[in-house]
Amino acid sequence: MARPPPRVFLIRHGETEWSLNGRHTGRSDIPLTARGEQQIKEKALLLVGEGRALDPKNLGVVFISPRIRAHKTFHLLFEHLPKFPDHIITEEAREWDYGNYEGLFKEEILAKQPGWDIWRDGCPGGESVDNMRSRVDGMIAKVKQPCRPALVSD
């Protein structure tokens, strides 16, 4: 029997102070708000578990950004299960690096660079569109691997 194609679920972290007020957040390590934690706990019971969209027996590996907001989201999603799924914390799964635009509001960025579009222009001092595309392509290649990679630690 042929192995079914892998499915990918992209899960954004819960609310942070910066996502709440509209600041661009990439490499800054901003924690979830109490409301953000509650959002994830509520979604976990709907999404994660036997027979649900995120059924642990069907998960190969979970890639997680090392930012505390992403790591906390992962733990909150799966904390009601007997064990956490296999996971890898990697910079490859992080958000866009906004560089000089980190922490700014869109209006502030547009004042510096009128007409700015992240998908066309990238971020000075951060990731270009090509950098982001390459990083995402690398993650897609990992997901498409027919077997889960062996993890080796020294």
pTM of the predicted protein model: 0.85
- Is 95 labeled as catalytic in the residue annotation? yes
Asked if residues 93 and 64 have their Cβ atoms less than 8 Å apart, the reply is: yes
Rounded alpha-carbon distances, angstroms, from residue 78 to 73, 85, 88, 95, 147: 9, 8, 15, 21, 23
Task: Mention every residue, 6+ apart, whose C-beta is less than 8 A from residue 104.
Answer: 23, 24, 98
Among the listed residues 13, 15, 24, 71, the single catalytic one is 13
Among the listed residues 15, 24, 95, 127, the single catalytic one is 95
- Is 24 labeled as catalytic in the residue annotation? no
Lookup: tokens for 52 = 């649900």
Strands (E), the chain: 62-64, 87-89
For residue range 74-123, list pLDDT tens digits in order.
999 999 999 999 999 999 999 999 999 999 999 999 999 999 999 999 99
For residue range 32-72, list pLDDT tens digits in order.
999 999 999 999 999 999 999 999 888 888 999 999 999 99
